[in-house]
A and B are shown apart, each in its own frame.
Chain A
């Protein structure tokens, strides 16, 4: 069965520092991978997605993620964090045979220190 692990429940970084959020997945075929962001009291917004091709994908708000098949990982990165990036981040996996039924990780809460 497909699954997603986000090892870090909370992460705190200083404004201007770099950020990496970890995501490991388990999926039997070629995965479709997503990162979503949720601001307090809001729905989820898509940051970026990987379907195929270049393993380094760019998203909105200056985020990027790298798909590493050998490590079953899809870590999210940002070179310089802004206070407005404080939110909860979810990694999700789906696939061609799995359709649009995404399986989500437990989430990582990002706090930004000024």
Chain B
């Protein structure tokens, strides 16, 4: 079982370029989210989705865009990359917000992005 799959694992961009980080899960989870991890700051929530067609902003949404056209996929778009977006990005999923849930987030292995 694949779980949460993120691609690419590594990416180098130049300032101003755009790109999409892909995230797919095969557990039929309704809830999906993107976090960024920076040294000494833990993980910070960028965007999240509680189901197909529904997205919302997290703590640090500026410069990022998301959409959720299917249950399985939740891509994160960087519209115009900036050096401040150099980070490790994690996609995470879980069962529905409104069910009696375990609250456990299942994480992908991360995507390391460097913006020059």
Q: Which residues of A contact B (CB under 8 A)?
A: 4, 6, 9, 32, 34, 36, 41-46, 49, 51, 90, 94, 99-107
Closest to A107 in B: B42
13 other A-B residue contacts (CB within 8 Å) besides A41-B110, A100-B103: A6-B42, A34-B103, A43-B4, A43-B107, A43-B109, A44-B90, A46-B104, A49-B103, A99-B97, A100-B101, A102-B45, A104-B43, A105-B42
Instruction: Assess the B110–A43 pair: CB atoms within 8 A.
Output: yes
Q: Which residues of A contact B4 (CB under 8 A)?
A: 43
Instruction: Assess the A100–B107 pair: CB atoms within 8 A.
Output: no
A-B contact pairs, 22 of them (CB 8 A): A4-B42, A34-B103, A36-B107, A41-B109, A43-B4, A44-B92, A44-B107, A49-B104, A90-B42, A94-B103, A99-B50, A100-B33, A100-B48, A100-B97, A100-B103, A101-B33, A101-B58, A102-B103, A105-B42, A106-B42, A107-B40, A107-B42
Distance, CA A105 to CA B35, complexed state (A): 13
Q: Mark B32-59, 1 if CB is under 8 A from A, else 0.
A: 0101000011111100101000000010
Instruction: Assess the A101–B45 pair: CB atoms within 8 A.
Output: yes
Q: Which residues of B contact A102 (CB under 8 A)?
A: 45, 103, 105
User: B94 near A: Cβ within 8 Å?
Assistant: yes
Q: Which residues of B contact A (CB under 8 A)?
A: 4, 31, 33, 35, 40-45, 48, 50, 58, 90, 92, 94, 97, 101-105, 107-110
Distance, CA A43 to CA B108, complexed state (A): 6
CB distance from A7 to the nearest CB of B (A): 13
CB distance from B102 to the nearest CB of A (A): 7
Q: Which residues of A contact B42 (CB under 8 A)?
A: 4, 6, 90, 104-107
CB distance from A39 to the nearest CB of B (A): 10
Q: Which residues of B contact A4 (CB under 8 A)?
A: 42
Contact pick for A9, options B40, B45, B97, B104, CB 8 Å: B40
Instruction: Assess the B103–A106 pair: CB atoms within 8 A.
Output: no
CB distance from A40 to the nearest CB of B (A): 11
